[in-house]
Amino acid sequence: MSPPDAEVPYGTLDLMVLKTLVAMGPLHGYGVARRIEQVAAGALVLNQGTIYPALLRLEQKGWIKSAWGTSDHNRRARFYSITAAGRRRLAAEAELWERTVSIVNRLLEHES
Amino acid sequence: MTALKVFLSRALDLVRRRQRNERFSEEVQAHLELLTDEYVSRGMSISDARVAARRMFGGVDQAAAAYRDQRGLPVVDALMLDLRFALRLLARDRGFAVMALLVLGLGIGVNNMLFTILNAHTLRGLPIPRPDRVAYVSTFDHRNTDRGVSYPDFEDLRATAHTLSGMAAFPNAPVTVGDEGRAPDRFDGSYLTANALDVIGVQPVLGRTFVPDDDRPAAPLVALLGSGAWRARYGGTGGIVGRSILINGAPATVIGVVPDRSGFPSTADVWLPLSNMPGLGTGKRDARSLRVVGRVRDGMSITDARAEIESIVSRLAREYPETNKDIRARVVPINERYLGRLTDPAWLAFMTVGLLVVVISCANVANLMLDRAVHRAREIAIRASLGASRGRVVRQLLIEASVLAALGGLLGLGLATAGVRLFRTAIPENVLPYWFDYSVDGRVLAALVAVSVATVFVFGLVPAVSASKTDVNQVLKDGGTGSAGRHARRWTTVFLTAEFALTVVMLANLALGLRIARPTLPSDVAIDKADVLTASITLPPEKYRTPGQRAEFYRRLDERVRAIPMVSAVSVASALPLMGAAERRLDVAGRANADGEPAPAVWTVAIGPRYFETLGLSLTRGREFAEEDGTPAQAHAIVSERLARIHFGDRQPLGQRLGLSSPGAAGAGAEWVTVIGVAPALRHRPGPDPDAIVYTCIALGLSTIGLYAVTAHGVSRRTREIGLRMALGAQPHQVRRLVLRRAMAQLALGFVAGVVCTVGWDRMFSSGRAEVRMTDPPSLAIVAAVLIVVATLACLVPIRRATRVDPVAAIRHE
């Protein structure tokens, strides 16, 4: 049995978006959503519309920037790219995430 | 840092709202198209692909809502919405908006104008660097009378005081400035020590200020000119520095020009070194005519300076007991000496008036708002039934009030500026001390904003809360007025009563002023001012040393002016009527003053022959002065009818002996004169403030508008009832009585409250003038008469409207 579809854990969407932009370079909202879904390989249900408020929030914080561009299929789309502040933030977030995960893991191992 | 960035970005969104929205819909559109493309490439039909894309994207509306919340500042968005709504409503209710704005603007304007004047006189202080470090040194005697410092004392102070880095003395005297072949001009002048302008911190615009060598006894005479004198006499042109002019008839060199607005100590336009002051060299220790300032040395405080000066002055009192016994020093920061005290009754009254005017106009606007709320009860009920919370309704109403207050504040600022300009032009140039600055400064603006904001709470809060208590069911059921009407009426009564009470106080105050001024009014009228010309002259003491020389000058002046064909009469006086006079203590021969009571004060003016004739007045008894009056053998006086009545009663005033002495030294050293004439009462005291008339008119106008507003709205609220009564046969006079009854009941209530307040005011402020009181029946009768007249006027229009109500239309009226 495959694991149950999960909602995006609270607060991790920012991390995922930033990581995606580092890995893929400038990308439009659709591309970001698609990429996250691909990596999750069906383990995650992403309501694609929610990506836009998240992108706006990150942009307001100065972690990403955006500009209009043209997609592979020759469609006009807004492309997002990570800023230097965004990279620093990603590093910090990733470290925090790893620490959190390792704590939780150790707890879980202990309990079993 | 990030939080600030987010805030800025969001704040920016408020301006770029449209761009943001467009960007979002474009992005969503692009996203959906990309998704659709993908589904099509997987083999779906176009229409299926579109549906699938929408499903995949999730709710577009939810995403849009989330996006909206993320951009901009939601609180501001809601406020902007309320603001737009408020502006639309005010634009629709133009009559209400205009009336409310006028009333509010007038109230705030008068308040701000008064504050601007108060600020200039009592708060701003001297425009000098670090005025708190400048000490003002004076002395006082055993009677606590304020005295100056004598020159010998000043020299001792200057030599021994270490706490002050510079000390300067500045007696005032008019100075005559002349040039060869040109008529001289008279300017206010001042004698200064060399370092005085350094102590005060004045830099010259041309040339230099005094140096110590200028102030040595035998130094050649030099003068500093103010920019005003420079422009008035020399056209403000170059080449003034180094020019030789005549000062009080003696040749002097101009060494510099000081900037505008530095007429230290008060209105000076010419400055001379102190050593040139007449009588300075006599070295009398009890000639205390100098005023002294000093700058506190760095590292010292004004308290240190005070302690040191006080000890020096008491040492001088011990060393020179015959002149300095009981003389003590007073050392205060210079602004404390120059500024009016806010606790002075005059300024307290000033502030009270300012406050009253604003409160009165707020009460008016509150009345207008309350009555408007009655008409809006239905709208508010509908909003409430659609889910608006009470807080939301109050907020909406308060925002409307804030819009009114902001616009009223702007209008007020304009009116205040105009009013201050008027006040300023009403006062002749060179009379006001140079440091009175009536321009708008930060303090005036802060007061304007504070008052405008405060008005929102005074006139806006009660109507808003009252309106928010609207009972939805009842209003929607009985179609229009509802229970808000009752709340509103109660508050209306409270406001209007307060308003009339305040007006009564101001009217009573004015009536009092008029009644005090009345005895002198006929004499004012008797002077036909159109034909009387005045000019002022000062004789330079260097040139006219003895009384004989001065009398000779005036005799020749009189002769030559009288020789001019157009002149029918000429006379001289030490002061013009209504321009003030010297205060003296009065003793009457054959009458002892009560023990401990100070001798009564009288105002004296020295006049020449034919003074009353020149003014077009005739004496009621006796004769005018002749040429020989005033010589030691002919010490004569003319008294006013008022003085004669008070001090001689029924006795013959002519031939009575009066003793006049300076205020500080009653009894001893009095100069005895014989009464030879009695004149009609001419006024030499400053009269009651003419501004009081203006303010009372404003207050009266405001409460009239208030009564009008309330009566008019009362009529329109009762249109249906009036129509019903008329349909049932009520006559116009009955309708009239119906409207008037409420207005008059309101008026009576306000009058009674006003009388109570007046009694309180009278107790507080007018203890000194026992002869006429604000609460006298004549005063109150005047007040009542004025109020009844304006109340009737205020009711005229509403009554007309009420009697013309068409019963059929009125009953349909909602």
* pLDDT at residue A24 in the model: 87
In eight-state DSSP terms, residue B124 is: S
Give residues with Cβ within 8 angstroms of B155, minimum separation 6. Answer: none
Q: How many domains would you assign to chain A?
A: 1
- Whether B41 has its CB under 8 Å from any CB of chain A: the answer is no
Do the chains contact at A28 and B30, CB–CB below 8 Å?
Answer: yes
In eight-state DSSP terms, residue B136 is: E
Chain B residues whose beta carbon lies within 8 Å of the beta carbon of residue A28: 27, 30-31, 34
Q: Residue B523 is encoded by which pair of tokens?
A: 């004499």
Mean pLDDT across B180-206: 87
Do the chains contact at B58 and A49, CB–CB below 8 Å?
Answer: yes
* pLDDT at residue B267 in the model: 84
Helices A51-60 and B60-70, axial angle in degrees (round to 10): 10
- Look at residue B535 and tell me whether its pLDDT is greater than 90: no
Of B407, B408, B375, B373, the closest CA to residue B393 belongs to B373
Do the chains contact at B34 and A76, CB–CB below 8 Å?
Answer: no
Chain A residues whose beta carbon lies within 8 Å of the beta carbon of residue B40: none
* pLDDT at residue B579 in the model: 58
Spatial separation of the C-alpha atoms in residues A75 and B663, rounded to whole Å: 99
Domain that holds residue A29: 12-111
For the segment B214-239, what is each residue's pLDDT rounded down to a tens digit? 988 888 999 999 998 999 899 888 88
Pairwise pLDDT comparison (B616 vs A98), residue with the higher score: A98
- Whether B26 has its CB under 8 Å from any CB of chain A: the answer is yes
The domain segmentation of chain B, as residue ranges, is 2-72, 131-338, 345-515+690-812, 535-575+581-679
Mean pLDDT across B358-366: 82
Pairwise pLDDT comparison (A49 vs B229), residue with the higher score: B229
Q: How many helices (H) and strands (E) does chain A have?
A: 4, 3
Chain A residues whose beta carbon lies within 8 Å of the beta carbon of residue B5: 60-62
Do the chains contact at A78 and B28, CB–CB below 8 Å?
Answer: no
Instruction: Look up the CATH number of the domain holding residue A63.
Output: 1.10.10.10
Cβ contact B171:B251 at 8 Å:
no
For the segment A55-71, what is each residue's pLDDT rounded down to a tens digit? 888 888 889 988 888 87
- Look at residue B58 and tell me whether its pLDDT is greater than 90: no
* Domain-embedded: residue A95: yes
In eight-state DSSP terms, residue B72 is: S
How many of the other CB atoms lie within 10 Å of CB of B164? 27
Residue of A nearest to B32 (CA): A30
* Domain-embedded: residue A61: yes
Is the ipTM of this structure higher than 0.90? Answer: no
Segment holding B429, helix H or strand E? none
* Domain-embedded: residue A27: yes
Chain A residues whose beta carbon lies within 8 Å of the beta carbon of residue B35: 30, 48
3-state secondary structure (DSSP) of residue B804: coil
Please tell me the number of Cα atoms within 13 Å of B732 on its side-chain side.
Answer: 8
DSSP per-residue string spanning B173-235: EEEEEEETTEEEEEEEEEEE-TTHHHHHTPPPSEE----GGGGSTTSPPEEEEEHHHHHHHHT
Cβ contact B57:B32 at 8 Å:
yes
Residue of A nearest to B8 (CA): A60
Give residues with Cβ within 8 angstroms of B759, minimum separation 6. Answer: B775
DSSP per-residue string spanning B583-618: EEEEEETT-PPPTTPPPPEEEE--B-TTHHHHHT--
Cβ contact A49:A29 at 8 Å:
no
* Domain-embedded: residue A1: no
Of B69, B89, B71, the closest CA to residue B396 belongs to B89
Do the chains contact at A48 and B6, CB–CB below 8 Å?
Answer: no
Residue of B nearest to A67 (CA): B23
Do the chains contact at A50 and B63, CB–CB below 8 Å?
Answer: yes
- Whether B22 has its CB under 8 Å from any CB of chain A: the answer is no
Chain-centroid distance of CA A96 in Å reads 15
* pLDDT at residue B1 in the model: 63
Segment holding B621, helix H or strand E? strand B621-622
pTM of the model: 0.64
Interface of A with B (CB under 8 A): 28-30, 33, 47-50, 52-53, 56-57, 59-62, 71, 73, 75-78
Do the chains contact at B35 and A30, CB–CB below 8 Å?
Answer: yes
Chain A residues whose beta carbon lies within 8 Å of the beta carbon of residue B60: 49
- Look at residue B593 and tell me whether its pLDDT is greater than 70: no
- Look at residue B769 and tell me whether its pLDDT is greater than 50: no
* Domain-embedded: residue A3: no
Instruction: Give me the percent of chain B exceeding a pLDDT of 90.
Output: 11
